[in-house]
Structure 1
Amino acid sequence: MTVKITEEMIFSPSFNYLDNGIEHGVLSPFETKEVILKKGQQIAEGFKPLSCDIKMLKDTPVTLRDGVTIYADIYLPVTEEKVPTLIAWSPYGKSAGTAPRYKNLFNMLEMGNAWNSGLTKFEAPDPAYWVQHGYAVCNPDMRGIAHSEGNTTMLGSQEAQDGYDLIEWLAAQSWSNGKTALTGTSYLAFSQWYIAAEMPPHLTCINPTEGLSDGYRDLAFIGGIPDTNFIERLAVNHVSAKHAQREDLAKEMQSAPLADAPIWQDKVADPSQITIPRFCHR
C-alpha cells in the first residue's frame, strides 16, 4: 500500500510527457532492452565521447511494495565482476542528459557540454566516469515520472519507502555486490536524508550535496515567509506519459499553512535514524 500520509496530499494533473527523443534526451524513447555503448561513442553532438564500453540496461522495470512499477536506466561495466551501485534519486528525467533545457543551461553558464558524456542525469554523477572506475550507476524515474506508474509525491515517507525498495532490488541483482550509495546535488540530496532514515540494509553510505532537510522551513515557508517560486519550478519536472497525478505543494501551502500540519511533519527528515557514513557538502 502507499503510505497513509498520501491521503492528506493534494494532487494536480502531471504535465504531459513528450516522448519524441528530443525534449527529454536522445535516449528517452521507451524501450526495455540491454545495449552495449562502445568506447569512443558520442551520445550526442557536443558531449564527451565515452571513455570505456558501457552495458546499459534501459527502461528496466522495478516493482515497489505496493505493486507500482517504476523504470530505471542502469549503466554497468562490461565485466564478470560484481559491482557496487550509485543511485541518483530525483524527479529529473533519467535520460535527460542531452535534453535541450540542460544543454542550454550549461551553454548559458559558459560551461558547454563537453565536460560530461550526455548520460548524466541532472545534478547526478556521470555514468561514463563511474563505470570506468568500477561502479554501476542507476538513474530511476521515480513514481509518476515519465513511464513510471503511480502518482508523484515530493519528499517524505513515500519517496523514502520507494527508495528503500529500489535499493534492495538493486542489491539482489546478479551483477551487484550488494553495496549501494545515494549521491547527488540539491533534490538528489534532499531525498537522501529521507531514504537513508528508512535504513535500507544494503545502503552503505550517502553523499548529499547542498540539500535541505525540512520541506516546510527550507522550501515552502523560508524564514516563515511563503515562497512558491522554487516549488513551481520543481513541479514542471513532474511529467507523465501515463496521466499520473503530482503532489501540488503550492496548494498544500494554502490548505495547511502551519508547520505542525501532518503533511509538513512528513517532510522533516530525521538524521538521527541514519547510522551509515555521510560525506556531505555545503
Structure 2
Amino acid sequence: MSTPARATWRRLAAVVVLAASVASAGCGSREAPPGTEQGDTAALPNYQRPEHYKVHRTADLLVPMRDGYRLTCDLYRPGQEGGAPRAGRFPGIVGDYTGYGRRLGERTASWLAARGYNVIVCNTRGAQGGNGASPAPESTGPLFPWQPQEQEDDYDLIEWLAAQQWSTGKVGQYGGSYGAITSWLVAGRQKPPHLAAIVPMMGARTSTPSSRTPGGIRTNEGDARGQWTQACSQATGEPTCSDRMTALWAAHPVYDRFWEQQTVDLEVYTVPTLAIAGLQDFFTNGADGAYKELAERDDFRVLYGPWNHVGVPVNGVAFNPQGIVLAWLADR
C-alpha cells in the first residue's frame, strides 16, 4: 500500500532486537536468538501517518456468521466533522480478537481509524468480557478459545469487513496474547482470501500448552496455561469456561488431533507476518519457532524487545507498537 513503509522494512533484518533487550539479559530475561540484528528504537521503522480523520464509532454492532450466530462488535471508521463516517473506501483491520472484551482495544482502534482504517473489535463467540461494552444476547453460550469454531468466526469476520461498500477489500489483523493466537490461527488454518497481513504480539502459533507438558512430560517450571483455564471465567465473563477448559485440556495431555486443530503448520504458511515478542515473556518460544521456519521470507519479520507478557518495559524501552503495526499493515 505504501512505498515509504515498504522501503523501511526492506532495510531491516528478519529479526531485530532492541539494544536494551541484550542489556537486560543478565537479569533473568532470555538472550536473543543467534544471528539477530541488534539496534535501538532509531533502527526500527519510524513510520508515521498524520491524523487525517475524526473517528466514527458504532457500538454493539451485530456481525452475522455463517451459521446465523452474530458476534457483538464495535466498529471504528474514519469520520468527519459532525460525526458521520467519511465517504470513500478504506482498508480494514480486525483488532485484538479475544474473549476479554472490546474496551481493551478501544484506544488502538481509534488511533488507527483516525489514520484511515476501518477497525472492528469483537467479543469472540460466547465471551462477555469484563472489559466489553454491553453484551447482546448473541454473545451468550459456551466459549471455546482457539478451537475451530472460533477460527471460522474470525474468517467470517474478516470476509464480512472486506465485503462492505466502504472497504477496499484488504484486511489486516493484530492482537496480543489471546489475540495473537487467534491471528496466527485464522491466517494459518482458515486462510481468508482477503486477509493481507497480521501482527501477533506476545503470543504463539498454537494453543498447545507445551510450556507445561513439553512432549507430554509435566515440568516443574509452573503452569501458565493451567492458570489461564482457571481464570477463564473471570477474564471472559463466561461462567462455565474455567471448569470446561480445565477438564478439556486435562483430557488431552499430549499432542493429538485436538491440539493439531489449534496449531499452524508453518510449512504451508503464506500470510505476511510481523511477530512482536518480549524477551521476558513466556511466549517468546512462539516467535523463535516461527523465525526458524520463516526467516528466509521477505514478508516475515520478528521484533524482540525487553518486555514481559503485558508489555511492561525494562531499561526504558517502552512497548508502543502502534507505529510499527501501522507500518507493517500499510505495506501490504
TM over 0.5: yes
Distance 1:258 1:203 in 2: 32
Code of the residue aligned with 1:203 in structure 2: it is L
Q: Are positions 1:142 and 2:124 aligned together?
A: yes
- Give 2:56's aligned residue: 55
Code of the residue aligned with 1:141 in structure 2: it is N
Of the structure 1 ranges 59-68 and 222-231, higher mean CA displacement relative to structure 2 is found in: 222-231
- 3-state SS, counterpart of residue 273 of structure 2: coil
Displacement of 1:139 in angstroms is 0.5
Q: Are positions 1:155 and 2:151 aligned together?
A: no
- Give 2:194's aligned residue: 202
Of residues 238, 246, 249, the one that matches 1:250 is 246
Deviations 1:242-262 (A, max 9, x none): xx85373211233232222x3
- Give 1:92's aligned residue: 100
Alignment of 1:32-181 (within 5 A): 53-78=54-79, 79-88=86-95, 89-96=97-104, 119-120=106-107, 126-146=108-128, 147=136, 148-181=139-172
User: RMSD value over aligned CA atoms?
Assistant: 2.4
CA contact (8 A) 1:144 1:245 kept: no
CA contact (8 A) 2:232 2:241 kept: no
Deviations 1:172-212 (A, max 9, x none): 11211111111021111111111012110110111111212
Of residues 218, 230, 235, the one that matches 1:225 is 218
Distance 1:150 1:204 in 2: 31
Displacement of 1:231 in angstroms is 2.9
CA contact (8 A) 1:168 1:200 kept: yes
TM-score (norm. length: structure 2): 0.56
Stretches of structure 1 that go unaligned for 5 or more consecutive residues are 1-49, 98-118, 121-125
Q: Give the fraction of aligned pairs with identical amino acids, expressed as a percent.
A: 28
- 3-state SS, counterpart of residue 249 of structure 2: helix
Distance 1:196 1:70 in 2: 19
Distance 2:228 2:52 in 1: 36
Code of the residue aligned with 1:62 in structure 2: it is V
Distance 1:219 1:70 in 2: 31
The structure that has the greater radius of gyration is 2
CA contact (8 A) 1:193 1:271 kept: no
Stretches of structure 2 that go unaligned for 5 or more consecutive residues are 1-50, 80-85, 129-135, 278-332
Deviations 1:69-91 (A, max 9, x none): 11110101112121111112111
- 3-state SS, counterpart of residue 237 of structure 1: helix
Code of the residue aligned with 1:169 in structure 2: it is W
Of the structure 1 ranges 131-140 and 225-234, higher mean CA displacement relative to structure 2 is found in: 225-234
Of the structure 1 ranges 149-158 and 202-211, higher mean CA displacement relative to structure 2 is found in: 149-158
The structure-2 alpha-carbon separation of the partners of 1:96 and 1:185, relative to structure 1 and needing over 3 Å to count, comes to closer
- The structure whose residues are more often helix, as a share, is 2
CA contact (8 A) 2:180 2:202 kept: yes
The structure-2 alpha-carbon separation of the partners of 1:159 and 1:272, relative to structure 1 and needing over 3 Å to count, comes to farther
TM-score (norm. length: structure 1): 0.65
Displacement of 1:93 in angstroms is 0.5
- 3-state SS, counterpart of residue 142 of structure 2: coil
- Give 1:109's aligned residue: none
Distance 2:140 2:63 in 1: 10
CA contact (8 A) 1:167 1:203 kept: yes
